Amino acid sequence: MPVPPRLTARQLNRATLARQMLLRRERVGVVEAVERVMALQAQEPASPYLALWNRIEAFDPAELDRAFAEHAIVKASMMRITLHAVAATDYPPFHAAVTRTLRAARYYDDRFRQTGLTAADADALMPEVMAFAASPRTNAEADAWFEERLGQLPKPGAWWAFRQAGPFWHASAGAPWSFGPRPSYVAAREPSTGLDANASMRHLVLRFVAAFGPASVKDIAQFSAI
């Protein structure tokens, strides 16, 4: 039986950098670039723009503005309970795969528990919240809606947990570089509701291996916080 070739550490390093488009800038569109690298950190508004500037030849930030505005690329809380920018087609399985982690991190946090609400209460209320957020809503608007619906709640309130645990995207501000320091949120156009968690996890693992592999279970757990 033939022995498969073994990569040196340097060859593996260069192969991973090439898949992440970090050896040289390439002529690709922003959606294809995001699909190829799987996900981009988006904790800061500028981060996806800088990440793609490093990867795309003649990168035009207006193209990324359009992709966010048209929801071809979306920004939301996902892996490691942090904000990532991903292709819209990847969002439903990614979110479904990490939903249990997101729920545990928010609905079982003392800051949410002190509102008197439970995870079951959140599930029951979620359809109303998503209907409310069918149009972009600021934090102030969402907090006011919850106060009208549930009364005065201890800070940071319920919306803090819903917007991170639930299927909500950051809404583009419609200006250059798309997102400002005071974000708005909109219910996901492609929600993860009803997707099989195991199939979604398999999708996430295969996408991770394609973008970063070879990888161990520990690598995937560290990346996803699952």
Tokens of 52: 């793609």
* Residue 3 placed within a domain: no
Q: What is the pLDDT of residues 35-75, one digit of tens each?
A: 999 999 999 999 999 999 999 999 999 999 999 999 999 99
Q: What is the pLDDT of residue 79?
A: 96
Q: Is residue 173 part of a domain?
A: yes
Rounded Cα distance, 86 and 98, in Å:
14
CB 159 within 8 A of CB 142: yes
171-183 pLDDT, tens digit per residue, is 988 777 878 778 9
Q: Which pLDDT score, from 0 to 100, does residue 214 have? A: 85
Tell me which residue range forms the domain holding 74: 18-224
Q: Are 189 and 55 in contact (CB under 8 A)?
A: no
**Structure-token match 């060859």, residue found:** 11
In a domain, 78, yes or no: yes
DSSP readout, 74-88? EEEE-GGGSEEEEET
Task: State phi, psi for 18 to the nearest 5 degrees.
Answer: -65, -45
Q: ∠ at Cα 138 (94, 124), nearest 5°?
A: 60
Look at the chain and report how many structural domains it folds into: 1
pLDDT tens digits, residue range 161-206? 999 999 999 998 877 787 877 899 999 998 777 899 999 999 999 9
Residue 86 pairs in a beta bridge with 74
pLDDT averaged over every residue in the chain: 94
Is 85 part of any domain? Answer: yes
Confidence of residue 1 (pLDDT cuts 50, 70, 90): confident
30 inside domain: yes
